[in-house]
Amino acid sequence: MCGRFSLTATPKELADIFGLLETEDFPARFNIAPTQPIIVVMSGERQRPGSNLPDRRALLVRWGLTPSWVKDPRDFPLLINARAETAAEKASFKAAMRHRRVLIPASGFYEWHRPSKESGEAPQAYWIKPRNGGIVAFAGLMETWSSADGSEVDTAAILTTHANARIGDVHDRMPVVINPEDYARWLDCRTQEPRDVADLLAPVDDDYFDVIAVSDRVNKVANTGADLQTPVHAVVRPAAKPKEPPANPQLSLF
């Protein structure tokens, strides 16, 4: 799963990277946790033919998707992640997979290697960031939940897939990464159905991310400084085989 991430880019940098018509003002954040506001990038209104204006916009939403049909969020689990293999068929996600796909910008994410209880070893936190720096775009889903009094809350979840070889010895899942050349296709919910973008829901290349051991200070939401990403020495972590992908990824979606 992906339970913490970071975004330290400026609004202007995001506007340039994602071609945004509108941007939200937000500070650099080093320890984004579930239920907190996150930035998502979504398709906006179509521009007139010949217009050079971008047609994407950024929106602040709550991290933790609540389907529109939920009556009381207090009685519903917090859905911070959605499994890419089954999202198109699950009641909580299938409408968003068809109509509300978004990109979730990040500078990287945190993951924990959790040894077996028998080993007696403590979990080790890792900061996982693009090897070449910059911003990564996670595949996301968005839903707007409406309460009985008419108020609305925009919510989102990050899609995950089986881990690649680089991440697999830390955890068996990782966020789905959408490459820049695929932004438009992923966000196009007008003409691109879930089956048309199923090929994008695969693990990113093994050499895309660096995996850096960091202190357990990231465990506490109250810790929000840049020092959370300072490397620390860690014992050699045991290798764990990532789960094998299905022979045909589309068969697991439909």
- The residues facing 62 across adjacent strands are 37, 155
The catalytically annotated residue of 85, 111, 143, 189 is 111
CB within 8 Å of 251: residues ≥ 6 apart: none
Q: What are phi and psi of 79, to 5 degrees?
A: -100, 85
State the residue for tokens 């979504």: 42
Number of DSSP helices (H) and strands (E) in the chain, helices first? 4, 13
DSSP 130: E
Six-digit token string for 73: 């969020």
The catalytically annotated residue of 2, 85, 143, 189 is 2
Please give the sequence-ordered ranges of beta strands (E in DSSP) within 176-233, or none if there are none: 209-214
Please give the sequence-ordered ranges of beta strands (E in DSSP) within the chain, or none if there are none: 4-7, 20-22, 29-32, 37-43, 56-63, 81-83, 101-106, 108-113, 124-130, 136-146, 152-162, 173-175, 209-214
Is residue 2 flagged as an active site residue? yes
Cβ neighbour number for residue 10 with a 10 Å cutoff: 13
Question: Could you give the residue numbers annotated as active site?
Answer: 2, 111
